[in-house]
A and B are shown apart, each in its own frame.
Chain A
Amino acid sequence: MSELRDLYQEVILDHNRHPRNFGELAEANREADGFNPLCGDKIKVHLVVDEDDRIADIRFEGSGCAISTASASVMTETLKGKTVDEARALFHTFHDLVTGKTEGDLGELGKLAVFAGVAEFPVRVKCATLCWHTTNAALEESADAVSTE
């Protein structure tokens, strides 16, 4: 059970039950869809990027497992107010974290550190990163929906 508890930390269960920044964003100027065909997870990320390249607002919609929903929820909290470059850097940091490539202090990751347990469950990495890939695509203004496969 201990690895399961590491994966399903209270923060993750809470964000799954009560996702933050969930819903549409009428004034969004960047959007992208993400899909995991293996498990059917779907996500849509809406962003408002201001003239200083800063994420002024971000919301998400969709349905997915606890890891996917909580990851999207925590991501939106983390990215709000960050610049596009900072968001991209965080994506790399987060990806390293959930694939077990992060060593040492997790302090700088803030709340994202609760996803460290995902590294013990390789098949769940895609659940945790779908929202980040989708946000990345929105920031790149890519027209294609993101697929994990």
Chain B
Amino acid sequence: MAAATSPTSTKLDVEAVRRDFPILQREVYDRPLVYLDNAASTQKPRAVIDAVATFYETTNANIHRGVHRLSQEATDQFEDAREAMRDFLGATKVEEIVFTRGTTEGINLVAMSYGRANVGAGDEILITHMEHHSNIVPWQLLCEQTGAQLVVAPINDDGEIDMDAFASLVSERTKIVSVGHVSNALGTINPIAEIGRLAHEVGAVLVVDGAQGCPHGAVDVQALGADFYACSGHKMYGPTGVGVLYGRHDLLEAMPPYQGGGEMIRTVTFEKSTYAPSPAKFEAGTPNIAGGVGLGAAARYLQSIGLEAIERHEAELLAYGTERLAEVDGLRMVGTARRKAGVMGFVMDCAHPHDIGTILDREAVAVRTGHHCAQPVMDRFGVPATSRASLGIYNTREEIDALVDALQQVREVFGG
């Protein structure tokens, strides 16, 4: 594996990291690509691309089924990736790591399996106003099916959870608390451990949407007090279509299956089937094997750089970017929490986010524009949409400068 720095080094060597990502060599409209859409999806390092390609070139076979050599090797690699994700998330047992299609499926799995078995009429599910749609809609579906109530904790004008209000909404009726680790639209890093304590005091479980948490710093599900933690491979420099759900072992063991099919059973007769233990119980059908192998490679790649070094690199860039964006006349940041990850959402008085996105694109600066699958957040801040520049391990100060220059072009076109 091409390690850009050793895990013990304190500073990330961004030029070395950039060399690990082949796509950063390409140009867009004859200019070097400035990729600032990492919260939507990250680029892939050579280590991940090679892991996937090598799997298909040398090992490809179905897993947990064949006695033949390739099947055994494929199984070993897939299970080794599970171990890599266990280590990455700080879980105690590999049985606590369930492969999914991504964060969305992870949350749906908890809602449909744990939720339907443990939530009933009159119970409450507590989320916050800053959640991504994938941490809202599965709970609404569960509420429709069980008669439970969805309760939404407010956020303040900086985009932070109002913790006094949050604490007052936790009660004996609360059965599930589900909160994003890091807000995809606002960048806010939420006080997960504190939220976990409040949830556990009343016997509720804590579900964490970790889609934006995983890629930006060290995650320790035990220190966080997370009972479930869902994340996506493609947001942490791994492949699309694969992710993992961490679930506390005793909870997973007691939960009914999510989907039925092959792999998840112990015995099947037409009268009755019995189920395999976790994690197989939740992995019906042939999984995304190569994707899982790639995700394991991504986790080890990030560890080889060092999660603390990544966190520091992105924090420095965020501080620089926040300062530079403040220089753009008529620009207002949406999301100004004290604890923030590398997400900069903003609006400009002279131009709609969609127009900003088009002009930035022609300057080879890739950002996301729109509601970021967080329509309630947009409503809360009274904007139809925002533009969002989101940082990753390979971004540089020069790229922030390119963003600011492109925003000046927006002002030029729109005469702001």
Contacts and interface: CB of A to CB of B under 8 A. Distances in A.
A67 B353 CA distance: 12
A131 B355 CA distance: 17
Contacts of B7: none
Interface in A83-119: none
Interface residues of A, number: 23
Interface residues of B, number: 19
Nearest to A62: B384
Interface string A35-70: 000111110000000000000000000011111110
Given A66-B352, A66-B414, A124 B358 contact: yes
Contact of A64 (B352, B362, B413, B415): B352
Contact of A13 (B353, B358, B414): B414
**Residue from the set A5, A42, A66, A68 with the largest chain B CB neighbour count within 10 Å:** A66
Interface in B376-399: 378, 384-385
B351 interface: yes
A8 B378 contact: no
A69 B385 CA distance: 15
A16 B358 CA distance: 16
A148 B371 CA distance: 15
B355 A65 contact: yes
B359 interface: yes
B370 A121 contact: no
Interface string A133-147: 000000000000000
Contact of A39 (B351, B359, B369, B413): B369
B354 interface: yes
A24 interface: no
A40 B355 contact: no
A4 B384 contact: no
**Residue from the set A1, A42, A69 with the largest chain B CB neighbour count within 10 Å:** A1
B385 A4 contact: no
Contacts of B352: 64-66, 69
Contacts of B351: 66
Contact of B384 (A5, A63, A121, A124): A63
Interface string B319-339: 000000000000000000000
Contacts of A74: none
A65 B354 contact: yes
A1 B364 CA distance: 12
Contacts of B358: 4, 7, 121, 123-124
Nearest to B352: A65
A124 B369 CA distance: 12
8 closest Cβ contacts across the A-B interface?
A: A65-B354, A65-B352, A40-B384, A40-B385, A66-B355, A39-B354, A40-B371, A65-B355
10 contacts: A4-B409, A8-B355, A8-B414, A38-B370, A39-B370, A42-B384, A64-B384, A65-B354, A65-B355, A127-B354
Interface of B: 351-355, 358-359, 362, 369-371, 375, 378, 384-385, 409, 413-415
Given A13-B415, A64-B352, A65-B354, 6 more contacts: A8-B413, A13-B413, A40-B384, A41-B384, A121-B358, A127-B354
